[in-house]
Structure 1
């Protein structure tokens, strides 16, 4: 699927909205059910839906069940801005949706996220028009719609996605044990327990993550299975939590910064493009073509028709960061084997803070109803079973922590807010320091969502609200 539309909806009438869910379940919803390959190849569009805490409340879920959801989800993304580093221009007061900007949809009105994917723009327009007509007739009001499309690159028969800064994207994803086949090429780590990403399954602690539940009296038809603890029914089984963020990229500012600091590159050449590519790679933590950074390497290797390798560790091959700097974006968001006190414990800890990351670009070429989209950036999505221990931990403790790797005043150089920060580039014989970093990515809106399993969605579609 190459194009997408993300619709944020408000449930104005719960009864018709539940009827709409019942219709979606009859065939429109895309599930994890295995289907023959020829049927998958004929599929032209996909649809998924997820709820905010306010949305579940608007649908009719009672207070007892609502309070069984985790604290972070109940509070919502805007109220967790201090944890996520969403300050300054990225603060909720400036968001297009889900924040506190006057005139924009506030968090309490964001109830439902509909994610539509299609093979091309024509298919997406047709599917979107059809779904809009149905939703408007069944108690759902559209608050926002963000169009997006993968920036595709094809080389020697291989298709890669890019993001607006020019890097290949989605190169490193965890393999879920028991649900996904390991990739044919060697990876740096073994498959990760399903419970890190899917509720109702054992996680890396060898226990099932906390799951929302309902009283048996709310499930008279027995659509839900028993909960792990107490006389309850499990609402979370095979579901997960989704953190969605609209991240606007300052492409012009990024290019201007590279131009201003290109002299830092240790390249004996007048080729400014190579110098800027070197600096760009050091900030991100990989070469733009996806190849991992290695010590004493001053330009990207030619990968030919081979995909970039993901079978590398930092301590094993680059303990001092001479290749991939300790505070680069890639090394911060996935430290692999580089955390103290040793590589084995680092990998174990790292496995407990992984997310399934999905991203699709939006940009000035995307248009809706004749109006050009504003800015360029990514619709970023993180799927995880524990918002606090996984998504929020990565944001707070790895990306935005200013003293990582025994350094000072250094955050993620690409994706964090900066007011004159820096990044240290270890180079022999003397390290170099890039000063006065600016913010290249600005948070423009987002929210926390519950993506239910099929049985839970059936329960919600037939929910009987308590009598008032």
Structure 2
């Protein structure tokens, strides 16, 4: 990557993306309530290539991949579909001998910055992602009740998982119908179907309403803001019924779509120069995350250390763990109770140090974590203007608002709503895709340095020790199992200590995926890679 200083970066002109060549879910959330996430195993290379070819937009296939082209106001398609490949799946499709992956190695060698994590896969990176103990890879897939062949267990190294397809629909009946259509598109191979569905999991809304997760929080507020997409332009937002002023810092589109070239006003150099197969593509982590609602409810309802049963304040404890009240109200906006008057960007227009122009509430500086603890989940995953967090400031010391660490989150709940005194073993949680251009610098960094790392504000972790992310809980036995917060916003008050923090989120499956652009998907379906131009 070419080294550019901040002044040079500020002069860059970001062109409008080629929406025809980008898979839709990378840049926009579809807001379909019913989603099926399917994982396929490739049995026959040529048949799998033909299957991918029929999914291309413009083919005569029953279903086609959805691109990022804008929908006209008031219109929504009957379904959306998107596709990704694991490293092993990509090797099979673009190399005649995946044991000698010449094409794969060529793409990887030309794109080291982007392939560095992808080529190793989720199993080999499990330690870095906190997938250890009860979240270890040898326990994935089957216990979630989504594995489709009870007689053939998944391979421990994940090498039998090759293609991931997501189908989005308006109701459960049409979702099943589109899934059956997808299965009929699979051609025959030498010894049976060319690809086999080995796992699927459905996501659908919970009774509490859209965008709620099983822990009880309303979710999906703070997706990255892109400036080159029409649905982030004011007029388009108003047409879709979303008003207000958006104070979120703009994140360059090339943090999510690879090799959208950005040129200085003078001079030819581009920032990225990966292999052209990656152009207009992205990477993603597919995650199946079990949520232990029973243990979570028990924790937030327990009295603090040294307290009595009547001292429990579950709503406050849950808000301090997340950084938001259950309805989504940010603690830095309303630290003492939810604010029902918030709407639209009121939920996202805030900083932790210096208030944004349209921030609601008092706009207090929360450098000491008086309002929102350092440990809180949303502060750890997006520290905004807190420069004391590792990896969250530019060379000149100014906050970069985590713009090089953001991810697009396309995930929703699976499994039934929790019922008190229900039988043990009911599966529920969060499933979906966490999308970025650079897995190492974005998804892996967040998981390793901000979620699982004890004390993610090195040297500035006082007076409010951050420990580990309290929603994920301690991954290692040596991690702190305590959670601290101030009951009020005065630092001379005694901190409340909650002991016995557990792992409330368990990994039950994980894949690292390449989400190709449409031209790249065509090349993959032909078993080729484009030629890299000679400079």
Which segment is superposed worse, 6-15 or 293-302? 293-302
How far did 1:145 drift?
A: 1.1
Question: Is it true that 1:85 corresponds to 2:130 in the alignment?
Answer: yes
Matched pairs, number:
427
- Decide which of 112, 123, 145 is 2:174's aligned counterpart: 123
- In the TM superposition, what are the counterparts of 1:119-198 in structure 2 within 5 Å? 119-135=170-186, 137=188, 139-151=194-206, 160-180=210-230, 181-182=232-233, 184-198=243-257
Q: 1:103 maps to which residue?
A: 153
Q: 1:254 maps to which residue?
A: 296
* Aligned CA distance change for structure 1 residues 271 and 207 (closer, same or farther; 3 Å): farther
- In the TM superposition, what are the counterparts of 1:179-258 in structure 2 within 5 Å? 179-180=229-230, 181-182=232-233, 184-202=243-261, 208-209=271-272, 211=274, 213=275, 234-258=276-300
> d(CA) in 2 for partners of 1:126 and 1:264?
56
Which segment is superposed worse, 381-390 or 144-153? 144-153
Question: Is it true that 1:445 corresponds to 2:487 in the alignment?
Answer: no
* Aligned CA distance change for structure 1 residues 301 and 264 (closer, same or farther; 3 Å): farther
Q: 2:27 maps to which residue?
A: none
> d(CA) in 2 for partners of 1:108 and 1:297?
47
SS at match of 1:113: strand
- In the TM superposition, what are the counterparts of 1:291-306 in structure 2 within 5 Å? 291-294=329-332, 297-303=335-341
Q: 2:347 maps to which residue?
A: 309
Question: Is it true that 1:385 corresponds to 2:437 in the alignment?
Answer: yes
* Aligned CA distance change for structure 1 residues 301 and 124 (closer, same or farther; 3 Å): same
- Decide which of 499, 504, 515 is 1:435's aligned counterpart: 499
Unmatched runs of 5 consecutive residues or more in structure 2:
1-31, 109-114, 145-149, 238-242, 355-363, 419-423, 530-535
Q: Deviations for 1:231-275, whole angstroms, at most 9, x for unmatched residues?
A: xxx101110001111000000110011121368899xx9696xx2
Q: 2:65 maps to which residue?
A: 29
* Aligned CA distance change for structure 1 residues 260 and 122 (closer, same or farther; 3 Å): same
User: By percentage of residues, which structure has more helix?
Assistant: 1
- Decide which of 77, 95, 102 is 1:61's aligned counterpart: 95
TM-score (norm 2): 0.73
Contact 2:303 2:311 (8 Å CA) reproduced = no
* Aligned CA distance change for structure 1 residues 299 and 343 (closer, same or farther; 3 Å): farther
- Decide which of 425, 441, 461 is 2:485's aligned counterpart: 425
Contact 2:376 2:470 (8 Å CA) reproduced = yes
How far did 1:375 drift?
A: 1.0
Q: Deviations for 1:50-72, whole angstroms, at most 9, x for unmatched residues?
A: 11110011113362331233121
Contact 2:37 2:432 (8 Å CA) reproduced = no
Q: 2:367 maps to which residue?
A: 319
> d(CA) in 1 for partners of 2:218 and 2:287?
19
SS at match of 1:331: helix
* Aligned CA distance change for structure 1 residues 297 and 57 (closer, same or farther; 3 Å): closer
How far did 1:431 drift?
A: 1.7
How far did 1:152 drift?
A: 6.5
How far did 1:110 drift?
A: 0.6
> d(CA) in 1 for partners of 2:311 and 2:371?
21
Q: 1:354 maps to which residue?
A: 406
> d(CA) in 1 for partners of 2:385 and 2:306?
28
> d(CA) in 1 for partners of 2:246 and 2:185?
44
> d(CA) in 2 for partners of 1:421 and 1:441?
14
Contact 2:305 2:496 (8 Å CA) reproduced = no
How far did 1:44 drift?
A: 1.6
Question: Is it true that 1:8 corresponds to 2:39 in the alignment?
Answer: yes
How far did 1:80 drift?
A: 0.3
TM-score (norm 1): 0.83
User: By percentage of residues, which structure has more strand?
Assistant: 1
Unmatched runs of 5 consecutive residues or more in structure 1:
155-159, 214-233, 367-371
Q: Deviations for 1:177-235, whole angstroms, at most 9, x for unmatched residues?
A: 31252564334433211111100125899953453x3xxxxxxxxxxxxxxxxxxxx10
Contact 2:34 2:172 (8 Å CA) reproduced = yes
SS at match of 1:439: coil
Q: Deviations for 1:298-351, whole angstroms, at most 9, x for unmatched residues?
A: 322223666652111101232211111011111111111112289884531611
* Aligned CA distance change for structure 1 residues 165 and 365 (closer, same or farther; 3 Å): closer
* Aligned CA distance change for structure 1 residues 416 and 364 (closer, same or farther; 3 Å): same
